[in-house]
Amino acid sequence: MASVTMHDGAEIYYKDWGIGAPVVFLHGWPLDADAWDEQLIAVAEAGYRGVAPDRRGHGRSTQTWHGNDMDTWADDLAQLVEALGLHDITFVAHSMAGGELARYIARHGTGRVVRAVLVAAVPPLMLQTDTNPEGVPIDALDDVRQALRTDRAQFWRDFAPRFFGAGPGATEDDGGDGEDGGDAAEGTTGGSAGRFSQGLEDFFWSMAMRQGLKAAIACVKEYSETDFTEDLRRFDIPTLLIHGDGDRVVPLDATSRKAAALIPGATLTVYPGASHGLALVPGTKERFTEDLLTFLRG
């Protein structure tokens, strides 16, 4: 397997497909680089070099006890970028990885970066506070941590419909009801804004179970309680934010709407009825891939 050894000995696995200007894909929680395969193929076929690492604690990278935090992930990314000799990078970051990228830019700057895409990303702050009432309550996050400790295999089974299913922001015909993502008719769930199959749920579960339990639990605090406000102010590159208004995991109003106001010149594109897993769900993944290619060419 292709990997780069970090300063502490951790091995970071990565995919490297195609030749051309690099597009580096950063996966969300609890996924790994496999989540980006369709976009990796698309950019490689379009004349770019697609790179996608597994974050430490995830997928095929080392499951370390220490270093499951935003600063370490950002430094791992910087070391990977340097080891691969990447310049003029477009970063594409989903969910928790939006925080990883924000921290990377805050700590390492944009000297190697030309543009960024944040997809259903957590910055500036996902946690519900007095100044961020649209966020996720701490009690709900504590429930996630407890469920991971109790029976993580079943938790990921139960979580997949929330990850891929559209919620209250869904359009009338997309099948999202805000509770369970709609009926699983004919092996699919959801509607015209994004139907997902049992196979996609199984794919999600397989990635989630490759994530180490230590990382799984640590990630909950890192993605939800970290305030990236000042990190976002360090962005000085063209930035596209994409978020579904049916996202049942990362609330649009608490995150991307506020991030777009903090990043100079950022563009926010809202997909009606799209879920948190919009880059994987048929009906939205095609639009996302085309929007990404348009942004790369623009």
Report the length, in residues, of the chain.
Answer: 298
What's the half-sphere exposure (Cβ side, CA atoms, 13 Å) at 114? 13
Distance CA 206, CA 153 (A): 10
The token duo for 224 is 């939800």
Which of 27, 108, 243, 276 is catalytic? The answer is: 276
* Burial (Cβ within 10 Å: 0-12, 13-18, ≥19) of residue 66: exposed
Task: Give catalytic status of residue 108 as yes or no.
Answer: no
Task: Give catalytic status of residue 3 as yes or no.
Answer: no
Which of 32, 54, 76, 247 is catalytic? The answer is: 247
Distance CA 128, CA 137 (A): 5
Task: Give catalytic status of residue 95 as yes or no.
Answer: yes
Distance CA 23, CA 74 (A): 17
Per-residue buried b or exposed e for 200-217, using 16+ beta carbons within 10 Å of the residue's own CB: bbebbbebbebbbeebbb
* Burial (Cβ within 10 Å: 0-12, 13-18, ≥19) of residue 111: exposed
Which of 27, 58, 95, 108 is catalytic? The answer is: 95
The residues annotated as belonging to the active site are 95, 247, 276
